[in-house]
Amino acid sequence: MTTAADHAATRHKTWRTLAAEALAGTGVHASRPVYANLTAPALVAEALRRNEGRLAWDGALMVETGVHTGRSVQDKFIVDEASVTEDVWWGRINQRLAPDKFATLRSRVQAYLQGQELFVQDVYAGADPAHRVRVRMVTEGAWQALFARNMFIRPPERELEAFEPDYVILHAPHFHADPAIDGVRSGTAIALSFGQRMIVIAGSEYAGEIKKSIFTVMNWILPQQDVLPMHCSANISEAGDVALFFGLSGTGKTTLSSDPKRRLIGDDEHGWGESGVFNFEGGCYAKVINLSKDAEPEIYAATHRFGTVLENVIGDHHGRLNLADDRLTENTRSCYPVEYIPNVELSGRGGQPRNVVMLTCDAYGVMPPISKLTPSQAMYHFLSGYTARVAGTEKGMGSSPEATFSTCFGAPFLPRRPEVYGGMLERLIERHSADCWLVNTGWSGGQYGVGRRMSIRHTRALLNAALDGRLARGGFRREPFFGLSIPEHVPDIPPDVLDPRRSWADKSAYDRMARELVGSFEKNFRSYEEAVGEDVRAVAIRAAA
């Protein structure tokens, strides 16, 4: 408890002493004011004072992120330290950075930050205190400090007094790295040292780099604590049963986990261990392009509130939002505290999952709308991480769908090999007898351009039947291409919706498309075959037969 004497002592400290305390453990020494742990209104005021953004009609803070409107995946590095090198999944995603080059980059960023007005936010990652990471972020931007305050878990004031960070983020969006000096690829660098427990982010204003850098840290730390880190949303029923929703962008992960009959635990990142499921975050980072007030009223309302940060969302001169305007990017984002969602589990925690749902947006129109998976099939599809992109979602794409595989539904954030996470998932599913489902939110009756998008009404009805246990008690039949178990009958769902082949007018065209997709799965899975058990290899062989 803070006493009057404590407040008096604080008042007599010089600004340099207060700044040094706020920056402890960061290696940054202040020469200008440091604003530590400001509230949301104060950070909004500072952002406006510094012309970092403007207020929307309803009070949200509108900002633009410049040239980077998404993550810069080619500029992500992990420091190649002796203590971690054997365990890192090196390659295109996790590029090596020599320790001496990181030391140079870190020192140059520390020197740069020393000459700026600075904002410090002390936050937690992990709603379970037993697996919590304390994060101190130093940034030159008030709005990025507000982003961190919204996105992570805010400690009570009494816990800030003795806060000591486990990890430090040095965030310098206006500092440009020099490849010749710093050993990186461009003026942008996201460099993570597990040994020094420090993250340097330079040359990018896109705040998603902050969020996903800490997710990468959790993906590194938690397997050693027998906790599976997951790129998934989660919700919980009134009876206490938890459901997990894995899926890549555009598959419906946020939409389908927002259910008026179930409380949201979190919309993106969670851990699963012996004490159950817990959210890593204290906020949401929703994609809001074409956001509908009718279809997603809770996210829509949160997007129009004071304290929310809107990245690259367009508004008129009065600040009235146009959520359909993609002139800056299709990746428009809304960042708000989780308490802005009314039907939420504020503890950020739940028990053992009863259902595990893997979402795919299959633009080939081949996958069933829902199918039941064995633990081995669940690991196979988890390691595959399949969805399909369609024309218009990315520059340079043609008119045909393109299969996309992102292992564990989160390859860009995995510092360890995928089979580490896949093996943990398989064991947890078996240990806790969770039912597993593969749900296609993509196309039916033909591929993209021929068929039609799955009805959200049908998808919700099928999910409700799965989550309340009715579907698992019914009969199933085996489809011939992937060996998936399809429900034989679901009330109010037409038979040709349940069976994708029946929905196609040209059955031979369906068979050709299904064989093509199976071939894509087979090709993708070759890199994992040697590292998985016979049961999972049997699933892969069955799909390729």
Residues 280, 127 contacting (CB under 8 angstroms):
yes
Which residues 6+ apart lie within 8 Å of 534 measured at CB? Answer: none
> Any catalytic annotation for residue 254?
yes
Q: Active-site residue 128, yes or no?
A: no
- Three-class SS state of 430: helix
Catalytic choice (104, 237, 249, 455): 249
Catalytic residue from among 212, 349, 372, 458:
212
Marked catalytic residue, from 131, 333, 389, 416: 333
From 76, 253, 262, 381, active-site residue = 253
Which fold, 4-38+45-50+69-225?
Answer: Phosphoenolpyruvate Carboxykinase; domain 1 (3.40.449)
Q: Which of 233, 254, 258, 308 is catalytic?
A: 254
Q: What is the pLDDT of residue 396?
A: 39
- 268 among known catalytic residues: yes
Determine the CATH number of domain 228-273+352-497: 3.90.228.20
pLDDT confidence of residue 394? 39
* 211 has catalytic annotation: no
Q: Which of 171, 231, 304, 349 is catalytic?
A: 231
User: Across the strands, what pairs with 493?
Assistant: none
Token pair of 176, please? 């440009």
Q: Which one of 268, 362, 435, 499 is the catalytic residue? A: 268
Domain ranges across the chain: 4-38+45-50+69-225, 228-273+352-497
What is the C-alpha to C-alpha distance for residues 306 and 258, in angstroms, rounded to an integer? 22
Residue 269 dihedral angles phi and psi, to the nearest 5°: -135, 130
> What digits encode the pLDDT tens for the residues 449-492?
999 999 988 999 999 999 999 999 999 999 999 999 999 999 88
Report the length, in residues, of the chain. Answer: 545
In whole angstroms, give the CA distance from residue 527 to residue 111.
43
Pairing of β 386-389 and β 452-453: unpaired
pLDDT score for 391? 46
pLDDT tens over the chain, length 545 residues: 455 545 545 555 666 788 889 999 999 998 899 999 999 999 999 999 999 999 999 999 999 999 999 999 999 999 999 999 999 999 999 999 999 999 999 999 999 999 999 999 999 999 999 999 999 999 999 999 999 999 999 999 999 989 999 999 999 999 999 999 999 999 999 999 999 999 999 999 999 999 999 999 999 999 999 999 999 999 999 999 999 999 998 888 888 898 888 999 999 999 999 999 999 999 999 999 999 998 888 899 999 999 999 999 999 999 999 999 999 999 999 999 999 999 999 999 999 999 999 999 999 999 999 999 999 999 999 999 999 976 433 333 345 788 999 999 999 999 999 999 999 999 999 999 999 999 999 999 999 999 999 998 899 999 999 999 999 999 999 999 999 999 999 988 888 889 999 999 999 999 999 999 999 999 999 988 888 888 888 887 655 55
